[in-house]
Amino acid sequence: MRSFFSESRVRYLSVGWSLLIVVGLFVSDAVRVLPSIGVAGLFATGLGYSVAHRRIAQRVYWPELLSFTLVYALHLATGLWWGHLTEPALWQDLLLELPFVLLPVAFLLLPTWPPAHKRTVWLVLLGCCLVAATSATVNYLRHVQAIDHLYLESRFMPTEPDHIRFSLLVSMAVLASTVLLFHSELPRWLRPVVLVSVLLLFLFQHLLAARSGLVTLYAGGALWLGWLGWQLGRWRAMLLTSVLVASLAGASLLLFTTLQNKIINTRVDAGKLASAGAANNFSVTGRVYSYQVAGVVIRAHPLLGVSKLRLADAMAEQYSYMFPAIERDHYLLPHNQFLFNLAAYGAVGLLIFLLGFYYPLLVALRRRNILTLLMYVIVSVSFLVEYTLETNIGVLTGLFFILLAAAPEGPAPVVPRPAVSQ
């Protein structure tokens, strides 16, 4: 068993399972179980390595890794408090949030990651985003007028995965690859390929015109530019990159009808906020009203919330009373992860969530791990407009890449060569 779970083999297996998770995010509609297989494989590999070598490889990092399990403990405790073990919704939620146990434990038990292995995972993410973006762009070019019109109706071009999660993955791929260009020892031939891919995805993010994607991209980009100038002292690179970004953004605004129509739609949407009935057709208006309804639920249950299992019913009751003009099919849960948690788990639950999810961010700040900081910025900005962690793809997007960015690095083991007989 020890020979099978050798450090070298386990490292390669870790990369393989990680790639399965990444690829699975993009084909989840066709093979829904693929990301889960990757998570289970990564956990089983870490467990096998730990048992075979009788050690916990990253014992010193246990506080920041296992802090994520508090999120799962929150779901488990509140589910048992408000529901019962025979309730299907409880088991569905516990299964959905299971990566908050399996992934942190896997990264705790696995050996250090050689930088080249982590680069491989990030570059595969870049490649998957590029392939998916190319497919979406080709489809757009075949149906330009129809898709352009969708953007006037608060809808988007078809993408895989859905436009919200995909836009977050694009932001992660662009920023992680940019860090690789400045920090890592990429092969000379690969640098122009990565650079061109980053620029193409930057442009595609504007063609897709998902608000969450654009905000995360620019928020993370601002942090990176500040880091590049103030922390690394590379002022010239910061200025040149800023000019390039501004130029591409300006060109996108002039050339992409989808972006222009999304801006028009957002302005019209914002102008409908006074009319509750507009929530049936406009996304921003619908979200604003969901915040108001959530506020009532929160004030009624400030400390412990109503539980995730009962949140939809509590929201529906308030919707029907407060805003009868909004149709039941358009009742929304609060599209904000923090508000969602506050309504579901109360102030106590929100504090537990913040401690469990954001303690590793404090560690990353102390260690000046810019890639982890960038992943946190992207995920946290998405929290402001979505309940990201309440879908399978959202859980993996919000957790796996943070863990990967924060994973301790170490040199690859040297494989001894057989002696040459004289």
Q: Are 258 and 151 in contact (CB under 8 A)?
A: yes
Q: Are 200 and 130 in contact (CB under 8 A)?
A: yes
The count of domains in the chain is 2
Residue 136 has which token pair? 């979406």
| Residue 203 resides in a domain | no
The residue type found at 51 is: V
| Residue 92 resides in a domain | yes
Q: Are 311 and 346 in contact (CB under 8 A)?
A: no
What per-residue confidence (pLDDT) applies to 232? 84
What gap in Å lies between CA 379 and CA 181, rounded to an integer?
22
Helix (H, G, I), strand (E, B) or coil at 152: helix
What gap in Å lies between CA 264 and CA 10, rounded to an integer?
52
Q: Which domain holds residue 305?
A: 271-346
User: Which of 346, 378, 407 corresponds to the end of one domain?
Assistant: 346
- pLDDT over threshold 50, residue 422: no
In the numeric block, the tokens 């409880």 are attached to 90
What gap in Å lies between CA 340 and CA 390, rounded to an integer?
10
The residue type found at 143 is: H
Residue 372 has which token pair? 């982890």
pLDDT in tens, 314-340: 999 999 999 999 999 999 999 999 999
| Residue 8 resides in a domain | yes
Q: Are 171 and 188 in contact (CB under 8 A)?
A: no
| Residue 93 resides in a domain | yes
User: Vertex 204, ends 200 and 205: CA angle to 5°?
Assistant: 120
Q: What is the mean pLDDT of residues 27-47?
A: 93
Residue 336 has which token pair? 């904000």
Q: Which of 263, 57, 48, 255 is nearest to 154 (CA)?
A: 263
| Residue 21 resides in a domain | yes
Residue 101 has which token pair? 């146990």
Helix or strand (DSSP H, E) at 294: helix 283-300
Q: What is the mean pLDDT of residues 163-183?
A: 95
Q: What is the mean pLDDT of residues 76-80?
A: 92
Higher pLDDT, residue 31 or 380: 380
In the numeric block, the tokens 């990092």 are attached to 61
User: Which of 346, 365, 392 corresponds to the end of one domain?
Assistant: 346
Q: Which neighbouring-strand residues pair with 409?
A: 113
pLDDT in tens, 223-238: 999 999 988 888 999 9
| Residue 330 resides in a domain | yes
| Residue 305 exposed, middle or buried by CB count within 10 Å (0-12, 13-18, 19+) | buried
Cis upstream peptide for 418 (omega within 30°): no
| Residue 169 resides in a domain | no
Task: Please enumerate in sequence order all residues whose Cβ is within 8 A of that of 66, keeping only pairs 6 or more positions apart, or say none.
Answer: 104, 105, 108
- pLDDT over threshold 70, residue 28: yes
In the numeric block, the tokens 């639950």 are attached to 349
pLDDT in tens, 126-158: 999 999 999 999 999 999 999 999 999 989 999
What gap in Å lies between CA 253 and CA 222, rounded to an integer?
19
Q: Are 219 and 377 in contact (CB under 8 A)?
A: yes
Task: Please provide residue 271's backbone torsions phi and psi, each rounded to the nearest 5 degrees.
Answer: -75, -10
For helices 190-208 and 235-255, what crossing angle results, to 10°?
Answer: 40
Residue 65 has which token pair? 């890794």
User: Which of 293, 313, 346 corresponds to the end of one domain?
Assistant: 346
| Residue 368 resides in a domain | no
